[in-house]
Amino acid sequence: MNKTTLFLFTSLMIICRISVSFPFDNNLEIKETNYSYGYISYEKKYYVIFKDKYFTKHVDEDSWSEQKITYNDYDLNEYFGLSMHELNNEKILLQNGGGPVYKLSNDSLYRIDRSRWHKTQNMSYTYVQNDTLFNLGGYGYFNNFDKILYFDNKTFEWYKYNSKNDLYDNASNDFLIFHDRKEEEIFYFGGKFDVTPQNIEKENLQYSIMKFSASNKRWDKVGNLDFSFSNKRNYIYDYHQSLLKRSFNFFDENYLYLLIFNELYTFDFKNNSFTISDFSLDNINTLNKIIYNPDYKELMYITSFTSENYPEVIIQKIDDFLPKDFKEKHYIYSTSNSGWNYAIVFLILIIISTIIYWKKIEGLFIDKSLILENDKVLFNGKKILIFDENEEKTLKYIIDKNKKNGVGTDELFDIIENGSQSFDNKRKRLSIILNNINLKLRAITNIPEDMIQSIPSKEDNRLRNYRLNKKLFEK
């Protein structure tokens, strides 16, 4: 091999190496709506995973490195998301809804399970214990899931965990979890019994605290949340009201942390107490999960969308994230029914008042700072800049036409660069564009409604038209 050939070969290897791993600065921007993230203990690395690439950051480094994904077996069109876990020194991702399990290895994301996507465990609690992946609770098909499933590492299928009992009538959704890994106990409470998207009613919330013991393989009732016994405020109801506005929850080794609007609740189940603190951090996307790193006592979270900036990934010490003091301290639960008669009367009065004044209350939660002006969408007086070319063209076209019966699918096909794709592929791409528009606007404005609505076509009910949700705009 002559010197020229050796030089070219060496240069090519260096270029390939750089293209595989490229360092980024401290701040990693999130410019896509479909991604997963987490912390992998055995590598001491944080991960952010997209469809065709992923980024990693070692705990001892300041910069992120990019890696290409050469093979991806996950269909990102599903919008159900993946949660990241560590199992037997492997990077495992579980699809929301229950069933599909993926592994990230050798720059490939591929499915390893032999089960089906059963969609009965949406918003479940997934955890790893004794080298086994478990999936607890959730909901689907208008039912709450009251069981625990486990993933068999040999057959690659899911099975019901052989516990002595299930949650039964205590099964709920949007529940809160504190997992005491040292004692192998899981506390479960605060969910909704109703699985339909109706107004939240206080009598349909879970006030019982259930505890699962892995050593005993059974659920036991610890007690009931007793608001007359604590701070006389139904913070579970407030928690569900705050979910689409300002709320998050996560836990470390000792406490469960729950944000309700601008107050942080810290639950200490070992001592049956909780504290309330003011929480002032505004630049945090509370719709995304907060990841706790137990090895280095750090948190990983995503900042908020703004009209000018994409969200970023933040790594921060938990002590710097949490408030330094608290303003109130109360008991969590009581083990008797004393005081419930007064609580029931109080709840009835609250429900009656809510029904009478609901329209006025509902108006308080609608954000009116979204404005149409000169074919532009403004939020707080500023133009929104985070749409890509197709998203911006689609939104402007719908604004420009402003038809009462909406804009037809065929019209939107014409303005999107589809090339010579089939009808199904065009429809899927349009669905992704419309979904991205609504996701970005919900993230920016915190309005829990779609700005672009889908309605049946007047000419053919099988077809869909699209129009603006007029009640979200200032007149």
Evaluate if residue 380 carries a pLDDT over 90.
no
Quote the tokens at residue 468. 């603006």
| Confidence label for 227 from pLDDT (cuts 50, 70 and 90) | confident
The CA-atom distances, in angstroms, between 382 and each of 338, 438, 439, 446, 464 are 54, 18, 18, 16, 31
Predicted confidence at residue 301, as pLDDT, reads 97
Evaluate if residue 127 carries a pLDDT over 50.
yes
Predicted confidence at residue 16, as pLDDT, reads 46
Average pLDDT, the chain: 84
Average pLDDT estimate for 268-281: 94
Evaluate if residue 302 carries a pLDDT over 60.
yes
Q: At what angle do helices 423-445 and 389-401 cross, to 10 degrees?
A: 90
Give 148 or 448, the one with higher predicted confidence.
Answer: 148
Largest CA distance in the chain: 92
Half-sphere exposure of 246 (CA within 13 A, CB side): 15
Predicted confidence at residue 418, as pLDDT, reads 63
Quote the tokens at residue 340. 């419930």
Predicted confidence at residue 76, as pLDDT, reads 56
Give 197 or 189, the one with higher predicted confidence.
Answer: 189
Predicted confidence at residue 425, as pLDDT, reads 79
pLDDT above 70: percentage of residues in the chain: 83
Evaluate if residue 8 carries a pLDDT over 90.
no
Evaluate if residue 99 carries a pLDDT over 80.
yes
Evaluate if residue 161 carries a pLDDT over 80.
yes
Average pLDDT estimate for 137-165: 95
Give 413 or 133, the one with higher predicted confidence.
Answer: 133
Evaluate if residue 250 carries a pLDDT over 60.
yes
Nearest to 365 by CA among 444, 447, 274: 447
Average pLDDT estimate for 297-310: 91
Predicted confidence at residue 368, as pLDDT, reads 47
Predicted confidence at residue 357, as pLDDT, reads 64
Average pLDDT estimate for 372-395: 77
Predicted confidence at residue 414, as pLDDT, reads 82
Question: H or E stretch including 258?
Answer: strand 256-260
SS3 label, residue 204: helix
Domains in the chain, ordered, with CATH? 20-358 (2.120.10.80), 370-472 (1.10.10.10)
Top-confidence range, 3-17, 255-269, 346-360, 366-380 = 255-269
Residue with tokens 């979200």: 472
Average pLDDT estimate for 125-144: 95
Predicted confidence at residue 438, as pLDDT, reads 83
Give 360 or 309, the one with higher predicted confidence.
Answer: 309
**400-459 pLDDT tens trace:** 776 667 888 888 888 876 666 777 778 888 888 888 888 887 777 777 778 788 888 777
| Confidence label for 137 from pLDDT (cuts 50, 70 and 90) | very high
Low-confidence winner among 192-206, 262-276, 422-436 (lowest mean pLDDT):
422-436
Q: Cα(138)–Cα(96) distance, rounded to whole angstroms?
A: 10
Predicted confidence at residue 403, as pLDDT, reads 64
Average pLDDT estimate for 169-187: 96
Dihedral Cα 441, 442, 448, 452, nearest 10 deg: 40
Evaluate if residue 341 carries a pLDDT over 60.
no
Average pLDDT estimate for 379-393: 79
Phi-psi region of 240 (alpha: psi -120 to 50; beta: other; left: phi over 0): alpha
Dihedral Cα 269, 271, 276, 277, nearest 10 deg: -100
